[in-house]
């Protein structure tokens, strides 16, 4: 009797284990097709590999890399090539996809003086906060840094120390469905936000009958760093300033409040109601699944949308973001740098990885296979690169770039950005701008004062 009970219990546990295993397997088995494109073009060889192998071969370093879109596939391909050529083993660990969580991860490692991270990708707004924990790359990579855009190199240079190397740039662009615009009689993408709202409404009303999931416009509305980027574009493109200008908080002005209220009025009408929980991945899924007429995202989405498993392949294009009645189109500057931790036990080998990853050959590879914006000017103008990435066409690439107010805030940037995106998220979920924006202003002022 006792044995029988044991048997039944074991059997039950077996069933349980099987269910859990199948669930996990099903969850992890998605998106195999995405790796194909990266494999089509081989990763570039490492220059002067023999000398590097002699010096650092056999060492193992940990690289905290990308997780959005095809980023991890790209990182793994490059790391494999690097290991093959130099004998330096690279442990590639994808970082959390929300950049403020990725910031938290690095902050935790640095504050505990951990040697577990050797190379990390850091956001364009972080060099100020992390500078004391990063190796000065100027002695070894100063020459290579001259190939990159001077403005980004300046951003990564803190008190004369080059604490990070530009890796790829980013700016917000508008994705739109060329087929649907034609179908509903539009000759081109919208120039203003109000035109976008009207077009999105008309297309959505027409498409809903055949696709109940269809919405006009998707963007990043979740309470996280990405919303600060979106909000900066709305406000700056309406002539409402850049949240903080010349060290003063400027967000509380009529133009800014008006554009925020106009976006709020569209939530649930031409966007999914759940857009206030969307990050980059949800935006990309909705658009590439054929469920949205317009999307705001970074350039990386282009490569996925043009890929084999995309439902909108050949049916979409990109352009600059719309602007308000009084303003002009802008794009928030994003982008990622590679940095070496001061607590790394293999700084030499780590710097060689950074040298390879930020070389012209790799940036070209990344731009073509992964549609990221090169930070090396000559690569950005390369014909093959521009052909693969139409957003590099001068008409789009020359759009005024707006920067998040990191330089006024230094180590307090993350906290200030949280104030901004929490407030904007509140507006998107229903609170009027006239009520929230003054609170944002007061809290930002408090942070600036206490700095």
Partner 1 sequence: MSSVATPAPVPHRRRRRRTKLQRRQTRLAWLLLLPALAVVVFVAIYPLGKTVYQSFTNQEFLAGLTPTKRVGFSNYHTLIHDTIFRDTVVLTIKFTVITVSFEFLLGLIIALVVNSHFKGRGVMRAIMLVPWAIPTVVAAKMWLWMLDDTYGVVNDLGMRAHILSHPHAWIADPSTQLAAVCAVDVWKTTPFVALLLLAGMQVIPKDLYEAASVDGANQLQQFWRITLPLLRPAILVTLIFRTLDALRVFDVFQVFFGYRLGAQSMAVYNQSTIVGDGHVGYGAAMSVAIFLIISLFVVIYVTFVRVSEQ
Give the whole-angstrom CA distance, residue 43 versus residue 22: 34
71 binds partner 1 (CB under 8 A): no
- Which residue in this structure is represented by tokens 């070894």? 140
Q: State which residue, 60 or 289, has the beta carbon closest to partner 1.
A: 289
Give the whole-angstrom CA distance, residue 251 versus residue 57: 52
CB of 105 vs partner 1, minimal distance in Å: 9
**Within 13 Å of residue 196, how many CA atoms lie on the same side as its CB?**
31
What is the C-alpha R_g of the chain?
23
Give the whole-angstrom CA distance, residue 394 versus residue 440: 36
15 binds partner 1 (CB under 8 A): yes
Please state the φ and ψ torsions of residue 80, each to the nearest 5 degrees: -65, -45
405 binds partner 1 (CB under 8 A): no
- Which residue in this structure is represented by tokens 């089509």? 40
Rule CB under 8 A: choose which of 418, 434, 438, 448 binds partner 1: 418
Give the helix ranges, DSSP H, for 238-332.
254-264, 280-288, 300-305
**How many residues at the interface with partner 1, by CB under 8 A?**
52
Q: Which span sits near partner 1 by CB under 8 A: 37-45, 216-224, 231-239, 389-397?
A: 216-224
Q: State which residue, 386 or 411, has the beta carbon closest to partner 1.
A: 411
Rule CB under 8 A: choose which of 12, 142, 188, 314 binds partner 1: 12
Rule CB under 8 A: choose which of 54, 55, 84, 108 binds partner 1: 108
31 binds partner 1 (CB under 8 A): no
Give residues with Cβ within 8 angstroms of 304, minimum separation 6.
34, 69, 70, 284, 288, 310, 371
Binding positions for partner 1, 301-330, rule CB under 8 A: none
CB of 386 vs partner 1, minimal distance in Å: 34
Binding positions for partner 1, 285-304, rule CB under 8 A: 286, 291
CB of 116 vs partner 1, minimal distance in Å: 16
Rule CB under 8 A: choose which of 127, 190, 241, 272 binds partner 1: 272
Indicate the pairing of strand 244-245 with strand 248-249: antiparallel
Rule CB under 8 A: choose which of 50, 104, 150, 384 binds partner 1: 104
CB of 437 vs partner 1, minimal distance in Å: 14
CB of 231 vs partner 1, minimal distance in Å: 14
98 binds partner 1 (CB under 8 A): yes
Give the whole-angstrom CA distance, residue 266 versus residue 259: 11
- Which residue in this structure is represented by tokens 């504050």? 111
CB of 6 vs partner 1, minimal distance in Å: 9
213 binds partner 1 (CB under 8 A): yes
Rule CB under 8 A: choose which of 423, 433, 437, 441 binds partner 1: 423
CB of 98 vs partner 1, minimal distance in Å: 7
Give residues with Cβ within 8 angstroms of 396, minimum separation 6.
173, 318, 319, 320, 390
202 binds partner 1 (CB under 8 A): no
Token readout for 446 is 């408090």
Rule CB under 8 A: choose which of 111, 187, 209, 449 binds partner 1: 111
Q: How far, in whole angstroms, is CA 42 from its chain's centroid?
A: 24
Give the whole-angstrom CA distance, residue 423 versus residue 361: 42
Please give the DSSP secondary-structure letter assigned to residue 322: P
Rule CB under 8 A: choose which of 73, 124, 223, 409 binds partner 1: 223
Rule CB under 8 A: choose which of 86, 220, 350, 414 binds partner 1: 414
110 binds partner 1 (CB under 8 A): yes
276 binds partner 1 (CB under 8 A): yes
**Within 13 Å of residue 419, how many CA atoms lie on the same side as its CB?**
22
Give the helix ranges, DSSP H, for 112-224.
127-130, 138-145, 150-155, 178-183, 193-207
Give the whole-angstrom CA distance, residue 101 versus residue 301: 21
- Which residue in this structure is represented by tokens 């006239």? 434
132 binds partner 1 (CB under 8 A): yes
Binding positions for partner 1, 425-444, rule CB under 8 A: 425-426, 429-430
18 binds partner 1 (CB under 8 A): no
Sign of torsion, CA 219 220 226 227?
positive
For binding to partner 1 (CB under 8 A), which residues are involved? 5, 8-9, 11-13, 15-16, 19-20, 23-24, 27, 98, 100, 103-104, 107-108, 110-111, 129-133, 213, 215, 222-224, 268, 272-277, 286, 291, 411-412, 414-415, 418, 421-423, 425-426, 429-430
């Amino acid at each position: 009797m006792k044995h029988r009970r044991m048997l039944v219990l074991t059997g039950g546990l077996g069933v349980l284990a099987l269910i859990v295993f199948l669930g996990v397997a099903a969850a992890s088995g998605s998106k195999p097709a995405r790796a194909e494109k990266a494999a089509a073009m081989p990763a570039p060889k490492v220059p002067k590999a023999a000398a590097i192998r002699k010096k650092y071969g056999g060492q193992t370093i940990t690289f905290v890399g990308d997780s959005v879109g095809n980023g991890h596939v790209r990182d793994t391909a490059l790391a494999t090539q690097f290991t093959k050529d130099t004998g330096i083993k690279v442990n590639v660990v994808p970082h959390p996809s929300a950049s403020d969580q990725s910031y938290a991860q690095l902050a935790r490692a640095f504050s505990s003086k951990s040697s577990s991270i050797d190379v990390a990708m850091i956001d364009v707004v972080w060099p100020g906060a992390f500078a004391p924990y990063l190796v000065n790359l100027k002695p070894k990579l100063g020459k290579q840094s001259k190939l990159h855009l001077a403005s980004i190199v300046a951003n990564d240079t803190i008190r004369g120390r080059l604490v990070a190397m530009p890796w790829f740039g980013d700016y917000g662009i508008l994705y739109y469905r060329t087929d649907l615009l034609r179908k509903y009689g539009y000759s081109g993408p919208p120039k203003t936000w109000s035109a976008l709202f009207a077009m999105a409404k008309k297309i959505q009303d027409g498409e809903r009958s055949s696709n109940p999931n269809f919405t006009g416009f998707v963007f990043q509305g979740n309470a996280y760093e990405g919303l600060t980027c979106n909000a900066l574009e709305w406000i700056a493109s309406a002539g409402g300033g850049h949240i903080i200008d010349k060290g003063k908080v400027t967000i509380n002005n009529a133009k800014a409040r008006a554009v925020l209220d106009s976006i709020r009025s569209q939530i649930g009408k031409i966007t999914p109601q759940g857009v206030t929980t969307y990050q980059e991945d949800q935006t990309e899924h909705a658009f590439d699944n054929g469920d949205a007429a317009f999307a705001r995202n970074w350039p990386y989405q282009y490569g996925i949308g043009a890929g084999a498993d995309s439902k909108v392949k050949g049916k979409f294009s990109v352009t600059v973001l719309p602007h308000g009645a009084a303003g002009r189109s802008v794009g928030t500057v994003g982008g990622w740098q590679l940095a070496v931790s001061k607590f790394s036990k293999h700084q030499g080998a780590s710097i060689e990885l950074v040298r390879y990853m930020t070389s012209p050959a790799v940036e070209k590879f990344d731009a073509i296979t992964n549609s990221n914006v090169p930070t090396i000017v000559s690569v950005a103008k390369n014909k093959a690169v521009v052909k693969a990435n139409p957003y590099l066409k001068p008409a789009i690439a020359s759009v005024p770039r707006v920067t998040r107010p990191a330089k006024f805030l230094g180590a307090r940037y993350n906290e200030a950005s949280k104030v901004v995106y929490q407030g904007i998220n509140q507006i998107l979920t229903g609170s009027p701008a006239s009520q929230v924006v003054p609170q944002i202003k007061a809290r930002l002022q408090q942070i600036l004062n206490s700095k």
